[in-house]
Chain A
Amino acid sequence: MKMSGAEMLLESLKREHVQHIFGYPGGVVLPIFDALFKDPSLQVVLTRHEQGAVHAAEGYARSTNKVGVVLVTSGPGATNTVTGLADANMDSIPLVVITGQVPTKMIGNDAFQEADIVGISRSCTKHNFLVRRIQDLPRIIKEAFYIARTGRPGPVLVDLPKDVIVDKGDFIYPDSVSIRSYNPTMQGNRWQIRKAAQAISKAKRPVIYAGGGIISSDATKELLDLVTLTNIPTTLTLMGLGALSGTHPRFMGMLGMHGTYAANMAIHHCDLLIAVGVRFDDRVTGKISEFSPHSKVIHIDIDPTSIRKNFHVDIPIVGDAKNILKDLIEEIKEINKPEPPSKDKLIDTWIEQVDEWEKEHPLTYEHDTDVIKPQYVIEKVYQFTQGDCIVSTDVGQHQMWTAQFFKFIKPNTWLTSGGLGTMGYGFPAAIGAQKAHPDKRVIAITGEGSFMMNIQELATVASLDIPVKIVILNNKYLGMVRQWQEFFYGGRYSSSFIGQSPDFVKLAEAFGIVGLKASRHDEVENVILDGFSRRGPVLMEFHVDPEENVFPMVPAGGSNIEMIFEAPEHRDDRKKRDSILTA
């Protein structure tokens, strides 16, 4: 039986076990949406903007480790996906994004709604395809999913011209994929792993620095096994939160620009740095020449380009974190066999030192009952949920406070835009996660600045009754911009005051969902209790201290041990602050 390109696409998606498609219709993809109308086994989540669709697919992918699927039209539909593609590319999120294209014969003629999306997206996808013949379609879809989910995951774009969508052909779906130029290394080199195990056994002050790669490769169990076996103090990157439980005694918190004092000090003073599934991002390392200056470095990563891109490595191991950690644990056990318990003693003083650093500068903030402290709201949300939920954030101060004060117990429960730092990511990501986990509590923690960037998705949650809980920390500023302006630009708040935000409660109601607000400290708990006990989507707005800052902070380009715990020139500008609060 001959099938149209549209039908082939849907059949291929089903073979890849796709259940949800995040998308938005338009001219050239109408035949696909028509086929979807006739076939209810694939559920379309209609967002209100294509960027929202991509972030939703990212949230879906990150919370499940499956490939997120997006379907949009040509031209503006396609270009609107670019931010999401770049975001997924930076954070290694597996996506297949299907864009419509004008008919093959019209490509290059500046046809209506034509955009060279394959050209545009080349540098922000893992790979992309233009399907030029119907007989290539099933194979390309198979390859797209394979490339998206294997190796270092990432977004793959498939551009489908209108004529290919409507053409008819025989559907032959390949059973397996073999791409001669693409063979990700999965197993680590055994000799290198042995060398790493020896280094770990000899180290007096080792630190594990793990990241998003642990989550992508589903290696949390192996990481926990390694930490349990060796008792090595562990820090996680922003993308890695949840890879080791936030309540684990050896967890030192996040490292880097807004990392904990203990984590940054431990990294600085360690004699062995065990980096797993991380890429030595500048927000993590600070001044690279002063990052972990005394350590021997083991770097485990599936992407060879990550190794020695930013930082020197003594024992590089390319491969899948899960496999390598398993082998590494085996090797360590082998070495420990003759004299098992001495290992712990070796690093006992080091653990004591880390504990001391933790006591010296724990994560904290000035408690104040006159205003709502944003950190207080996050603590209360954590207390209420006990971490049994999926949390997404946008980008800025609220993101850092959530990373600091919310304890992520399990992997795949933390969705944030780490590499690209995309404001507007969080709310749609929560929608995607909720679609994947209908029975889980999904919370989007955001700021009033970020939330405005994809606020149209309120219509999505309202129309599909997606019970995402939205927590807006409204401080009337683009908070992180304001913080930098306060610290480094003489307090000149250029374009960072956004106090004229809409009345979010009324806005929520206008979209048809419940809106709640807390303006006083004593209202916070009630709003959380009320909001979280409701069934459908709820927006909770908290009017928080406008000039609260994120601490500790490593000023950009500074060394990680030069953390600051208060504003460089402490300005007591109570009056101005009060006038904003009462405005």
Chain B
Amino acid sequence: MSEIQKHFIQVVVENKFGVLSRVAGLFSARGFNIDSLSVAPGIDPTVSQMTIETQGDDHVVEQIVKQLNKLIDVIKVVDLSEFSFLCRETLLIRVNTARPGDREEAFRISEIFRARIVDSSPATYTIEVTGDTEKIEAILNFLKPLGIKEIIRSGKIAIAREEQHGGHRPSKHSIEGEYSHHR
């Protein structure tokens, strides 16, 4: 048994109604976890791109990849964890700024994390920040003392780094030669 690890899986699907529920249904029906999910249309409007954050040992992740591929509407599946990749999420957070000095503090923290204040009211700021999970967690910790009114986090999106992407590294999820290249 290999150990349980976090995986980011990129899935390119047909941009049709019901596809998201096929993917989500697959995960629940087979007992796989979805830790986060983000979906949006690709440049080609007939496809949608999903980033699914999941976890499992090698055996489970192999099955996830294969089962996703088996869905008729799924065009391509890539386990990004086999590559070096970038991962981002966005946080929208509304903090209290009613006490004296709060607004300056919120502003300073935003500066440090290269966050942006995207909305303000007399007693609150709404801050937008994008980054990897550590950065999001860090700014959250800094902002907490101000008093958090509301937060909302996006699912994670991930992309493989360029230099690795075209490489011919064999996938961990099939023994070499399991598939034929002649269809």
How extensive is the interface on chain A, given as a class? 20 to 34
Q: Please give, as numbers and ranges, the residues of chain A lying within 8 Å of B182 by CB-CB distance.
A: 187
Choose among B14, B72, B73, B175 the residue with the greatest number of A CB atoms under 10 Å from its CB.
B72
Choose among A118, A147, A308, A318 the residue with the greatest number of B CB atoms under 10 Å from its CB.
A308
Asked if B95 is at the interface of the complex by the 8 Å CB criterion, the answer is no
Q: How far is the CA of A108 from the CA of B10 in the complex (A)?
A: 31
Q: How far is the CA of A119 from the CA of B24 in the complex (A)?
A: 12
Q: Could you mark each residue 243-265 of chain A with 1 if its beta carbon is under 8 Å from any beta carbon of chain B, else 0?
A: 00000000000000000000000
Quick check: B63 and A309 within 8 Å, CB to CB?
Answer: yes
Q: Please give, as numbers and ranges, the residues of chain A lying within 8 Å of B63 by CB-CB distance.
A: 305, 308-309
Quick check: B70 and A304 within 8 Å, CB to CB?
Answer: yes
Asked if B67 is at the interface of the complex by the 8 Å CB criterion, the answer is yes
A304-B179 CB under 8 A given contacts A181-B72, A181-B75: yes
Q: Please give, as numbers and ranges, the residues of chain B lying within 8 Å of A119 by CB-CB distance.
A: 21
Quick check: A318 and B67 within 8 Å, CB to CB?
Answer: no
Q: Please give, as numbers and ranges, the residues of chain A lying within 8 Å of B178 by CB-CB distance.
A: 189, 192, 304, 307, 316-318
Q: Could you mark each residue 44-87 of chain B with 1 if its beta carbon is under 8 Å from any beta carbon of chain A, else 0?
A: 00000000000000010011001101101111000000000000
B:132-183 near A, CB below 8 Å: 174-175, 177-183
Asked if B29 is at the interface of the complex by the 8 Å CB criterion, the answer is yes
Distance in Å from the Cβ of B55 to the closest Cβ of chain A?
19
Quick check: B21 and A122 within 8 Å, CB to CB?
Answer: yes
Contact residue among A186, A187, A305, A308 (Cβ-Cβ distance under 8 Å from B70)? A305
Asked if B101 is at the interface of the complex by the 8 Å CB criterion, the answer is no
Quick check: B62 and A147 within 8 Å, CB to CB?
Answer: no
Q: How far is the CA of A190 from the CA of B181 in the complex (A)?
A: 10
- Closest-by-CB residue of A relative to B178 is A316
- Closest-by-CB residue of A relative to B67 is A305
- A-B contacts counted at CB < 8 A amount to 70
Q: How far is the CA of A182 from the CA of B182 in the complex (A)?
A: 14
Quick check: B18 and A189 within 8 Å, CB to CB?
Answer: no
Q: Please give, as numbers and ranges, the residues of chain B lying within 8 Å of A190 by CB-CB distance.
A: 180
A118-B18 CB under 8 A given contacts A123-B25, A304-B174: yes
Asked if B22 is at the interface of the complex by the 8 Å CB criterion, the answer is yes
Quick check: B25 and A147 within 8 Å, CB to CB?
Answer: no
Q: How far is the CA of A316 from the CA of B179 in the complex (A)?
A: 8
Distance in Å from the Cβ of A69 to the closest Cβ of chain B?
19
Q: Could you mark each residue 302-316 of chain A with 1 if its beta carbon is under 8 Å from any beta carbon of chain B, else 0?
A: 011101110001001
- Closest-by-CB residue of B relative to A319 is B180
Distance in Å from the Cβ of B179 to the closest Cβ of chain A?
5
Asked if A112 is at the interface of the complex by the 8 Å CB criterion, the answer is no
Asked if A495 is at the interface of the complex by the 8 Å CB criterion, the answer is no
- Closest-by-CB residue of B relative to A151 is B70
Contact residue among A130, A184, A188 (Cβ-Cβ distance under 8 Å from B18)? A130
Q: How far is the CA of A317 from the CA of B67 in the complex (A)?
A: 17
Quick check: A181 and B174 within 8 Å, CB to CB?
Answer: no
Q: How far is the CA of A504 from the CA of B16 in the complex (A)?
A: 51
Q: How far is the CA of A361 from the CA of B72 in the complex (A)?
A: 46
Q: How far is the CA of A181 from the CA of B25 in the complex (A)?
A: 19
- Closest-by-CB residue of A relative to B181 is A189
Distance in Å from the Cβ of A322 to the closest Cβ of chain B?
14
Q: How far is the CA of A316 from the CA of B72 in the complex (A)?
A: 22
Q: Please give, as numbers and ranges, the residues of chain B lying within 8 Å of A179 by CB-CB distance.
A: 72
Q: Could you mark each residue 157-198 of chain A with 1 if its beta carbon is under 8 Å from any beta carbon of chain B, else 0?
A: 000000000000000000000011111111111111001000
Distance in Å from the Cβ of A562 to the closest Cβ of chain B?
25
A:289-311 near B, CB below 8 Å: 303-305, 307-309
Quick check: A304 and B72 within 8 Å, CB to CB?
Answer: no
Quick check: A304 and B180 within 8 Å, CB to CB?
Answer: no
A:118-139 near B, CB below 8 Å: 118-119, 122-123, 126-127, 130
Quick check: B59 and A308 within 8 Å, CB to CB?
Answer: yes
Q: Please give, as numbers and ranges, the residues of chain B lying within 8 Å of A313 by CB-CB distance.
A: 175
Choose among B21, B22, B180, B181 the residue with the greatest number of A CB atoms under 10 Å from its CB.
B180
Contact residue among B72, B74, B174, B177 (Cβ-Cβ distance under 8 Å from A147)? B72
Quick check: B75 and A308 within 8 Å, CB to CB?
Answer: no
Contact residue among B13, B29, B175, B183 (Cβ-Cβ distance under 8 Å from A185)? B183
Distance in Å from the Cβ of B32 to the closest Cβ of chain A?
13
Distance in Å from the Cβ of A309 to the closest Cβ of chain B?
6
Q: How far is the CA of A305 from the CA of B59 in the complex (A)?
A: 11
- Closest-by-CB residue of B relative to A126 is B72
Q: How far is the CA of A304 from the CA of B178 in the complex (A)?
A: 8
Q: How far is the CA of A503 from the CA of B174 in the complex (A)?
A: 57
Distance in Å from the Cβ of A454 to the closest Cβ of chain B?
27
Distance in Å from the Cβ of A105 to the closest Cβ of chain B?
16
Distance in Å from the Cβ of B73 to the closest Cβ of chain A?
6
Q: Please give, as numbers and ranges, the residues of chain A lying within 8 Å of B13 by CB-CB distance.
A: 181
Distance in Å from the Cβ of B173 to the closest Cβ of chain A?
9
Contact residue among B67, B73, B181 (Cβ-Cβ distance under 8 Å from A181)? B73
Q: Please give, as numbers and ranges, the residues of chain A lying within 8 Å of B66 by CB-CB distance.
A: 304-305, 307
Quick check: A187 and B180 within 8 Å, CB to CB?
Answer: yes
Distance in Å from the Cβ of B180 to the closest Cβ of chain A?
4
Q: Please give, as numbers and ranges, the residues of chain B lying within 8 Å of A182 by CB-CB distance.
A: 72
Contact residue among A127, A183, A308, A317 (Cβ-Cβ distance under 8 Å from B183)? A183
Distance in Å from the Cβ of B139 to the closest Cβ of chain A?
39
22 contacts between A and B (CB under 8 A): A123-B25, A126-B72, A127-B72, A147-B72, A181-B14, A181-B72, A181-B73, A181-B74, A183-B183, A186-B183, A187-B180, A187-B183, A189-B179, A189-B180, A189-B181, A304-B66, A304-B70, A304-B179, A305-B63, A316-B174, A316-B178, A318-B179
- What are the 3 A-B residue pairs with the smallest beta carbon separation, nearest first? A189-B180, A181-B75, A127-B72
Taking A304-B66, A319-B180 as known contacts, 20 extra A-B pairs with beta carbons closer than 8 A to each other, sorted by chain A number, are A122-B25, A123-B26, A126-B72, A185-B179, A185-B180, A187-B180, A189-B178, A190-B180, A192-B177, A192-B178, A195-B177, A303-B70, A304-B174, A304-B178, A305-B66, A305-B70, A307-B174, A308-B63, A309-B63, A316-B177
Binding site for B on A (CB under 8 A): 118-119, 122-123, 126-127, 130, 147, 179-192, 195, 303-305, 307-309, 313, 316-319
